[in-house]
Structure 1
Amino acid sequence: MGISIWQLLIILAIVLVLFGAKRLRNVGSDLGNAIKGFKSAVKDEDNKDAAQAASEQKLEQKPGENVFDVKAEEKKPADTTPPKA
């Protein structure tokens, strides 16, 4: 129960009558340009991430610099009993 080729041709004919061939051509080219722009933006972002990862690998941390040795301690709850009068 799929769409047959004849049904697709009828739909295409109706769309051509409603919008016209020129407008459909413009929509197609605009859609193609949008897809190209999206792909180039994704590619640029991937290149930026790779460059950032490479620059982070170049940074070397010297021993003892920007290192914090902290001992975690559990905070004890405050005494919640009311004072005796």
Structure 2
Amino acid sequence: MGLDSFWHWLILLVVVLVIFGTGKLSKIGPDLGNAVRGFKKAMQGDDEEDEAKRKAPEQLRADPPPAEGTTSKARDTSETR
């Protein structure tokens, strides 16, 4: 039974499916891709980009002032009762 036998690969595939299941096997690809991307980023030194993002000033946004309408008057009259 050599490595080039079709039955060898078929039996090996069935054993792997029984041990790991299809759920775990479907997660191997994305996990491996994320690991490779992380390794490439570490090798290229993308720390400069992360540091620039941290140093960027935060832009704070405030809610617009409430429009003068019936909502504030209705609330005021209900509180006085």
The answer to whether the superposition gives a TM-score over 0.5 is: no
TM-score interval, normalised by the smaller of the two chains: 0.3 to 0.5
Larger RCO (alpha carbons 8 Å, 6+ apart): 1
What is the TM-score normalised by the length of structure 1?
A: 0.43
Structure number with higher helix proportion: 2
